[in-house]
Each structure stands twice: as structure tokens, then as C-alpha cells.
Structure 1
Amino acid sequence: MTVNEQILEEIAACEKLLIGIGEEWKAEGIPDMGSLYEKMNGLIKDKDYFIVTTVTDGEILGSPLEQGRLVAPCGNETWRQCSKSCTKDIWEPGEIPQDVCPHCGEPLTGNTIEAEDYIEEGYLPQWKAYTTWLAGTLNKKLLVLELGAGFKTPTVIRWPFEKTVSINNKAHMYRIHRKFAQLPETVKGKADAVLENSTEFFRKL
């Protein structure tokens, strides 16, 4: 059985499905990124899943994936915030056509960790939903798919996912990355490393 077949079989059999989407999934330079998210939706739409993404391009927000089942703690470029953080307000695309802060007149910037003063309030409600969901995975048959998450922000996906897998005896993880697929001792026997670009791998699932 190929790794692809194993993953599809485990998606079908799992009780809970946790997916981490890392920097390999940035839309820039990847043709037809939307089709990847559509494919993902087709594979997991009937599962009890949650997605954590560190990608900030906002592509996933326009996908058919259930928005209540995903969190983007690094923010997204399509949402806007005051570049000087004079307010905690966050605006959706087109809400402020002039792209200047209505409070202080400074330019708006993307609501991401790249901002000088990142306003985190935008993702916190979904983060709470995620942690609640995650608490319910203990002693459940949990499949973890880590797609292209390297070491840019390892505290969001990589390290927490390792901990989740290590403490759940029914968990199994696939770490897929073109360069950083190595696994720590804490998840040996409960995880598989796939040394391949995760977007290219996923297209072949």
C-alpha cells in the first residue's frame, strides 16, 4: 500500500482529523491553489476536522472549507488594521476603500504577524474554538496531517502537533515537507515522514 493509499484509508477511518497548513501552501508561485483547497474539502467534508494555518494570503478563506473549522493565528493579508495600532479594530476587504485608518489617518496594513504591531483579536475566537475541539480529541482515533509546516513559526503547528500526537495513544501523524520532514523521538512509531513538497503530494492524493 502506498503512503497516499494509507492516508486516504486513515482519513476514512479516523474519528477526528487535525490538519496543519504551513508555508509551502503560500499561493504565490503555486498554480491554481484554489483547486487544492477544493480537493481538501472533498476529502474531509464529512469528517470532524479542524485546520490550523500559518499562511497569511487569505486564500483558504475563499475556499469551500467550513470557515468555523479553521483558524489562522498568523492573520491574513486581506483583513486590514491600523499600521500604528491606534485601535483594535480590524476591517474586512473593501470596508475602508481609502485604506487609511478612520481613527488616526495612518495607512492601514495587513492584519498579519508581519505588521509592526499585530492585532491578534481577529483570530482569538476561532483559537478558542480550536482549543475546545482539540481537548475533545484525547483518546479518540486522531489523524494528524501536517502539510508544509517548517520552522518559520514552529510554535503554532509543528511543536504543538508533536505534543498532541505524543499524548494520544490513538493518534497517528503524517509530516509532509520537502525539506523538514524529520520526526522527534517523542512520536516515533506514531508518525510517518514524507520528504516531498506537500502541495505536490496533496495533488496526487
Structure 2
Amino acid sequence: MDNYQKRIEISKKALVEAEFILIGAGAGLSAAAGITYSGKRFTDNFGPFIVKYGFTDLYSSSFYPFGTEEEKWAYWAKHISLNRYEIGATKLYEDLVELVANKKYFIISTNVESQFEKAGFPSEKVFQIQGDYGYLQCEKGCHDKLYENESLVTTMINKTSRCQIPSNLVPRCPICGGPMDVNLRKNAFFVQDESWHASDNRYKKFLQESIGKKIVYIELGVGFNTPGIIRYPFERMTYHNERATLIRLNKDHPECFEENRGKTISFTEDMQQVVTGFM
């Protein structure tokens, strides 16, 4: 067997023998599933915005300081719709359902497109810790309620003209009357509602139950934008549990802590190929 096949076989054995599986998902997973933030997918869908603002990709454009709320929401309506509503479940996420179906598992993800739930994972087993494109919140977080946005987003897109929406469609906070924002963790005003706290408690309970047990941490496309959420905790938990195995799928950053060598299996190959190999 070549090195790749050896890593596949070792990983499969660890997954079969695992009492617990914890999946940690980052932006690289969605990119591997086809939800890319640059290239043809971006240029095909954001032509007018590229011309007007000089945008180069969806990630950097999400930080653009729009001059008006009408411009801001014309952009965000399309951004949300493309990544949250216009795409169904992808094969890579569906394969993950099959991979862990008969195990005790949990998922923590910094992704915000709800692909896990679309693929069939129960919502109570998924913690989208950074928010959800499907909801709006008060821009200043004056209260902790979130608001579903699908209908409004569709109307905004249908009414967009010259990269602006009509003023009467600009969302306003029903409590303070101020601007609204997408429910994404990007500043100190990120709203953590009752559902977020329930997911947080379920995640903590899972971690507590799996202490010292035979567990596999599957880390999928997690980089260094927010390493303290998934990457570093997975490394730390692997180090402290002699029965743990960390499977890291990451084209750009497959390296691990020196102390975890022998307990970490790294893959830089195509993520869909590797996940299929586990099955």
C-alpha cells in the first residue's frame, strides 16, 4: 500500500472502533463541496457589484463599507441567497451523514450555510457557532432574538436595481429602530440567542461525556482565521486523551503539534476523495 492508502486504512479502523466522533468543520469543507467564494461562481453571480465596487471575491467583499443601507442589502441579499438558499445539499456533506450514521457524534462548524442540516443531520447535533446566513439580528445586538430572512431576501433581489434596493425594504430593528445585520460573528454585537446557547450546552455535554473515551476528531478544512474554535481545541484534546485520534483534512495546513505525532492522520488530498475512501 502507498502512504495514502495506509492513511485511509488506519483512519477507517479508527472510525470503526470509535465510541465517539466529533466533526469540526471550517470554510475548506464548504469550498471542497463546491461552495466557493471566488472564481467563476463569484464572477457569474456578482458582475454588477464587481464593476461598481471592484470586488474580487465573496470573503473580502463581505467587509466592504457600503455608503448606504440600500447598497449594503442589495449585496447581502445576493450573498445570502447564493450561499444559503440557491444551493441544496451537496454530496460531500451527504457522505458525512453516512460516515457517522451509526456512531455517537456531534458537529461544531464555523460555516454558516446550514449545509449540515440540508444534508440530513439533526439540528440538535450541529453547533453553527459563528451564526447562520438564514437570520438577521439587530446590528447593535440590542436584544437576543433572530429573524428569518428568506422571504425578505427574495424580495430584495427581485427589487434590486443598479446595486441598490428600495428604501422601504431596508430592515429595521423592531426594538430600537436601528439598522439590522446578518447573524454572523464579526464583532462584539453578535447575537447568541436561546437556540445558540442550547447548542453550546449540547456541545459541552458531548465533550464531557467523551473525556478519556475512544474518540476520533475529524477536522475538515479548518484554517487559521479562528483556530481557537476548532483547530487548537482538537489538538489539545487529542494530546490529553491517549485513546484519541485526530484525522485532519487540510490542503494548506496539514501540520500538527509535535506532541501529537502518531495520533494525527493528515490528508492534503481532495476532500471528497478522502471522505469516500473512509466509507
Counterpart of 1:109, as a letter, is D
Aligned to 1:8: 12
Match of 1:128 in 2: 201
The aligned residue for residue 154 of structure 1 is 227
Aligned residues: 205
TM, length-normalised to structure 1 = 0.88
Equivalent residues of 2:134, 2:150 under 8 A apart: no
Residue 26 of structure 2 corresponds to 22
Matches within 5 A, 1:107-186: 107-114=179-186, 117-121=189-193, 122-186=195-259
Matching of residue 39 in structure 1 with residue 39 in structure 2: no
Give aligned-pair identity as a percent: 25
Partner of 2:67: none
Report the CA distance shift for 1:191/1:111 in structure 2 as closer, same or farther (over 3 A). Answer: same
Distance in 2 between the 1:15 and 1:163 partners? Answer: 19
Letter in 1 for 2:238: V
The CA deviation at 1:96 is 7.0
Q: Could you list the structure 1 runs, at least 4 aligned residues long, displaced by more than 6 angstroms after superposition.
A: none
Letter in 2 for 1:141: K
Q: Deviations over 1:146-201 (max 9, x none)?
A: 11101010000000001111111110111110111101122122112222353553
Which of 49, 59, 64 in structure 1 is aligned with 2:120?
A: 64
Change (3 A) 1:95 1:106: farther
Change (3 A) 1:199 1:80: farther
| Cα separation, partners in 2 of 1:146 and 1:95, compared to 1, 3 Å | same
Distance in 2 between residues matched to 1:93 and 1:137, nearest whole Å: 36
User: Which range is displaced more, 70-79 or 46-55?
Assistant: 70-79
Deviation at 1:115, TM superposition (A): 5.3
- Structure with more strand by fraction: 1
Match of 1:84 in 2: 140
Unaligned runs of 5+ in 1: none
Larger Rg: 2
The alignment's C-alpha RMSD in Å is: 2.4
Q: Distance in 1 between matches of 2:138 and 2:25?
A: 27
Q: 1:89 to 1:125 in 2, by over 3 A?
A: same
| Structure 1, 86-95 or 184-193: larger mean CA deviation | 86-95
SS of match in other structure, 1:26:
helix
Residue 116 of structure 1, CA deviation? 6.1
Would you say the 8 A contact 1:17–1:142 is kept in 2?
A: yes
Structure 1 counterpart SS, 2:13: helix
Q: Distance in 2 between matches of 1:54 and 1:8?
A: 25
Give the aligned residue type for 1:18.
L
Asked if 2 retains the 8 angstrom alpha-carbon contact of 1:56 and 1:75, the reply is: yes
1:100 aligns with 2:172: yes
Stretch moving more, 39-48 or 121-130: 121-130
Q: What are structure 2's unaligned runs of at least 5 residues?
A: 38-86, 154-168
Give the aligned residue type for 1:108: M
Secondary structure of 1:81 counterpart = strand
